[in-house]
């Protein structure tokens, strides 16, 4: 008995809910699903997987729907998931340790969001595991939060090394569910509701990101300018506001305004690496290889941003190295490109884009020779593990995987 109830809300989640619930069978004493109007097989699949399902009308309020689920929990701990998430089996021991030998009353878990481009894979901390208590409740119609109620209850929050894989940001999923328009409607309602200027600025930022995805770029830029004006210039969210505005201008291909925006952001937050990395990406779009190289070199010098709410994974470490490899390759500096690809792979072996590009760059080379060069920075076992994580390997990558496995078997004899 783990003492954990897995709770989630769902609507038309037949594609994902089975894998979600199967991923938690080993740790769940109970599963509660609040269905908010499915007209597919979501309910029957959830029931088949052992969930207690409660049907409720969609309240146009994510916090309210999540709190309906919490009202049905009877165990000491609650693990709140989305139906398009999966608990990684390798992290189950860490999860169980968090509740059997607790170091906190609530935990931030790692959520890894898959996107259509592997290099855009993102990771963030989310509060999803917590003690079951009537004082702990979600707040906010959309982009709902639970941390405020945890603080008011006097509970402490800590990190837990547990990963949730999230599939909901794949373009196909966003489009098929019409998530963007739904989110925009909820954000419009939230902005009309009364709140502080900081709260309104936060909602405008969220709406701008949705508008950008809908290609309503002028509206997105307008929202970001208003958000920046509403919040204090040095508030924790301001770096993200400036970066989002720079991204809006990037999509508009107004590179002059991109550089102006980044310069202003750096004036206020000179050690926020994401600004420097993003400007390097813009220089690549402009074909300015030297300035791009300088930006990524500067990003490496700055390193991982500290004391900021959010930063793209790797912008001050492995992704900056990767971009330096790509710029070198664009310039025809192949020896330099290889050196930076190998540095990237050594630092972040599981980062498939760098591994794939390096192997593709050497496609005219014998597989055994490629393996020898890769083994300068990592072991055959580590390389095999990285390649096994890839769903769609090229024939050359399949060959390399086979060679790695043969070496691992030979060394074990």
28: left (phi over 0), alpha (psi -120 to 50) or beta: beta
What's the CATH code of the domain at 233? 1.25.40.10
Distance from C-alpha of 295 to C-alpha of 258, rounded to nearest angstrom: 14
Task: For residue range 89-101, list pLDDT tens digits in order.
Answer: 999 999 999 999 9
* CA 83 distance to own-chain centroid: 16
Distance from C-alpha of 299 to C-alpha of 305, rounded to nearest angstrom: 10
Contacts of 383 (CB under 8 A, 6+ apart): 349, 371, 374, 375, 400, 404
Question: Beta-carbon neighbour count of residue 152 at 10 Å?
Answer: 11
Distance from C-alpha of 146 to C-alpha of 135, rounded to nearest angstrom: 10
- The answer as to whether 161 is a domain residue is yes
Structure confidence at residue 310 (pLDDT): 81
For residue 21, which of 86, 109, 68 has the smallest C-alpha distance? 86
Residues 189 and 87 in one domain: no
Question: Beta-carbon neighbour count of residue 199 at 10 Å?
Answer: 16
Residues 12 and 153 in one domain: yes
- The answer as to whether 351 is a domain residue is no
Beta pairing partners, 108: 127, 159
Q: Is the pLDDT of residue 190 over 90?
A: no
Residues 196 and 114 in one domain: no
Beta pairing partners, 122: 113
Structure confidence at residue 341 (pLDDT): 98
- The answer as to whether 413 is a domain residue is yes
Structure confidence at residue 115 (pLDDT): 55
The single-letter DSSP state of residue 59 is -
Structure confidence at residue 124 (pLDDT): 74
Question: Beta-carbon neighbour count of residue 403 at 10 Å?
Answer: 18
Task: For residue range 1-24, list pLDDT tens digits in order.
Answer: 899 999 999 999 999 999 999 999
Task: For residue range 102-114, list pLDDT tens digits in order.
Answer: 999 999 998 887 6
Distance from C-alpha of 1 to C-alpha of 95, rounded to nearest angstrom: 13
Residues 167 and 25 in one domain: yes
Residues 161 and 259 in one domain: no
Q: Is the pLDDT of residue 246 over 90?
A: yes
- The answer as to whether 23 is a domain residue is yes
From 172, 204, 237, give the residue that closes a domain: 172
Structure tokens at 143: 């982009």
| Structural domain count of the chain | 3
Structure confidence at residue 173 (pLDDT): 55
Least confident of 107-116, 181-190, 205-214: 107-116
Distance from C-alpha of 100 to C-alpha of 112, rounded to nearest angstrom: 25
Cα angle for residues 150, 9, 52 (degrees, 5° grid): 105
Q: Is the pLDDT of residue 116 over 50?
A: no
Can you give the residue range of the structural domain that contains 117? 4-172
Residues 236 and 160 in one domain: no
Residues 197 and 215 in one domain: yes
Residues 163 and 22 in one domain: yes
Average pLDDT score over residue span 272-294: 97
Residues 195 and 137 in one domain: no
Residues 149 and 201 in one domain: no
- The answer as to whether 198 is a domain residue is yes
pTM: 0.78
Residues 154 and 191 in one domain: no
Task: Identify the sign of the CA torsion 253, 254, 259, 261.
Answer: negative
The answer to whether the CB of 164 falls within 8 A of the CB of 87 is yes
Q: Which helix (H) or strand (E) holds 263?
A: helix 255-268
The single-letter DSSP state of residue 205 is H
Confidence of residue 391 (pLDDT cuts 50, 70, 90): confident
Distance from C-alpha of 335 to C-alpha of 341, rounded to nearest angstrom: 10
From 151, 172, 193, give the residue that closes a domain: 172
Structure confidence at residue 192 (pLDDT): 86
Structure confidence at residue 198 (pLDDT): 87
Residues of the chain with pLDDT > 70, as a percent, come to 95
The answer to whether the CB of 187 falls within 8 A of the CB of 207 is yes
The answer to whether the CB of 28 falls within 8 A of the CB of 4 is yes
DSSP states along 196-215: -HHHHHHHHHHHHHHHHHTT
Average pLDDT score over residue span 138-165: 92
Structure tokens at 7: 């709770």
The answer to whether the CB of 390 falls within 8 A of the CB of 404 is no
- The answer as to whether 316 is a domain residue is no
From 113, 143, 172, give the residue that closes a domain: 172
- The answer as to whether 301 is a domain residue is no
Residues 26 and 122 in one domain: yes
Phi, psi of 26 (to 5 degrees): -70, -15
- The answer as to whether 356 is a domain residue is no
What's the CATH code of the domain at 133? 3.90.550.10
């Amino acid at each position: 008995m783990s003492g954990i109830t897995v709770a989630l809300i769902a609507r038309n989640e037949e594609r994902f809910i089975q894998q979600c619930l199967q991923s938690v069978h080993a740790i769940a004493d109970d599963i509660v699903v609040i269905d908010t109007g499915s007209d597919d097989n979501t309910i029957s699949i959830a029931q088949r997987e052992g969930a207690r399902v409660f049907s409720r009308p969609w309240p146009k309020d994510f916090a309210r729907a999540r709190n309906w689920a919490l009202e049905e929990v009877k165990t000491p701990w609650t693990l709140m998931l989305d139906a398009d998430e999966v608990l990684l089996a390798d992290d189950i021991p860490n999860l169980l340790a968090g509740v059997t030998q607790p170091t906190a009353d609530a935990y931030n878990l790692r959520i890894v969001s898959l996107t259509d481009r592997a290099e855009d894979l993102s990771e963030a901390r989310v509060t999803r595991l917590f003690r079951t208590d009537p004082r702990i409740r979600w707040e906010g119609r959309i982009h709902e939060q639970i941390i405020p109620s945890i603080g008011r209850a006097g509970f402490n929050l800590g990190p837990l090394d547990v990963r949730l894989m999230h599939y909901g940001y794949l373009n196909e999923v966003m489009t098929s569910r019409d998530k963007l328009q739904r989110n925009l409607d909820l954000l419009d309602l939230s902005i009309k509701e009364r709140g502080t200027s900081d709260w309104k600025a936060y909602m405008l930022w969220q709406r701008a990101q949705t508008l950008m995805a809908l290609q309503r770029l002028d509206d997105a830029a307008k929202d970001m300018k208003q958000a920046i004006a509403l919040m204090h210039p040095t508030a924790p969210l301001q770096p993200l506001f400036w970066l989002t505005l720079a991204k809006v201008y990037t999509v508009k291909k107004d590179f002059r305004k991109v550089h102006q925006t980044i310069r202003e952001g750096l004036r206020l937050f000179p050690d926020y690496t994401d600004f420097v990395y993003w400007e390097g990406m813009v220089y690549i779009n402009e074909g300015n290889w030297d300035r791009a190289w300088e930006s990524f070199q500067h990003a490496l010098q700055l390193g991982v941003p500290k004391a900021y709410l959010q930063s793209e994974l790797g912008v001050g470490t492995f992704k900056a190295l990767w971009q330096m490899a790509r710029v070198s390759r664009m310039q025809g500096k192949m020896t330099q490109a290889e050196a930076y690809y190998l540095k990237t792979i050594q630092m972040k072996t599981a980062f498939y884009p760098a591994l794939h590009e390096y192997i593709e760059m050497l496609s005219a080379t014998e597989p055994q020779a490629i393996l020898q060069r890769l083994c300068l920075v990592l072991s055959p076992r580590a390389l095999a593990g990285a390649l096994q994580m890839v769903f769609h390997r090229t024939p050359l990558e399949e060959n390399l995987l086979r060679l790695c496995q043969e070496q691992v078997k030979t060394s074990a004899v």
